Structures are given as C-alpha cells and as structure tokens.
Amino acid sequence: MISRRRLESRTPNHQRSQYWAAGVRQSQTAFDERALAVFQPDILIPIQYLSTYQRRYNLDPERVLMLAVLQDAVVCFQEYLGSTCKRKMALYTDAEQWLLNDDRSYLFSFENICEALGFESGYLRQGLLRWKDAVLARNKGRHNRKRLAS
C-alpha cells in the first residue's frame, strides 16, 4: 500500500496557504464588490447611446450621390461579369467602360468621383481588374474540368 504524505508548506504562515502567490492577498469584500460591479447600470445619455449608430463621416448629399454611383458601377461590374443576358451584359460593359475611362471632363466621371470621395482611382481600378482576372481564371479552370468530365 502506498502511503500518502501530507504536503506541508515551507512558509511559517499556514493560515493563508490559499494565497500562495505573491500579491494575491485580497479581502473577500473587495472581491465581492468587483463581482457585483458587473451588474451595476451604465449611465449613458441618449446622445452617447445613439452616437454608436451614426456615421462617423457626415457626407454632403452630393457626395452621397457620388458614392451611390460608384457603388452601382462596382456592383454591376462584379455581379454581371460573364453573364449571358443581354441586359446584364450591357450593364457590365457600361460599368467597365466607365471604370476604365480617364476622362475628367464631366462631373460624375470615375476620376472626379474618386477624387471627391478621397479614393485613389488608380488603386481602385487596379484592384477591380485584378479581381476580374482572378474570377476569369477560376471560371476557366472550372470550364476546363467540366469539358474533361463530359
């Protein structure tokens, strides 16, 4: 039979053996106060609460319209890539031509909208073209696999 030896503390203070780590000694009331602090109500005025749901940057109505035009062009470019419907293909080609056009002569050109919104037009254009190449390469690989399987 294996005998169990009782481990004894090497420190002379045996009453506080539950606080074996240095600096852990805390009273029970301090712990209770911190535990109950979780259930205390937060005091917020309505403006502070509603500020979390508001935009950080207030845009003028003209800039909101410019952002909507840019968003529509990007959505048409990405959604209708490779579509077979004539209407969707027309939307795609219009969006692609608008995105690739460097003309600054009219107000709502791609270059002017990016400048007004603070976007780098070349960077955005390059990212969209990289995305297009990746999607076409992925779809080409799928098309080749389907052709081999049939």
Distance CA 132, CA 84 (A): 17
pLDDT at residue number 85: 94
Are 94 and 83 in contact by the 8 Å Cβ rule? The answer is no
Q: What is the pLDDT along the chain (150 residues), one digit of tens a residue?
A: 565 555 555 555 555 555 445 555 555 666 677 777 777 776 777 877 777 776 666 678 999 999 999 999 999 999 999 899 999 999 999 999 999 999 999 999 999 999 999 999 999 999 999 999 999 999 887 766 555 555
pLDDT at residue number 96: 96
Query: 13 — phi, psi (to 5°)?
Result: -90, 95
pLDDT at residue number 20: 47
The DSSP symbol for 4 reads P
Greatest CA separation found in the chain?
A: 96
- Residue 49 identity (one-letter amino acid): Y
pLDDT at residue number 77: 96
pLDDT at residue number 110: 97
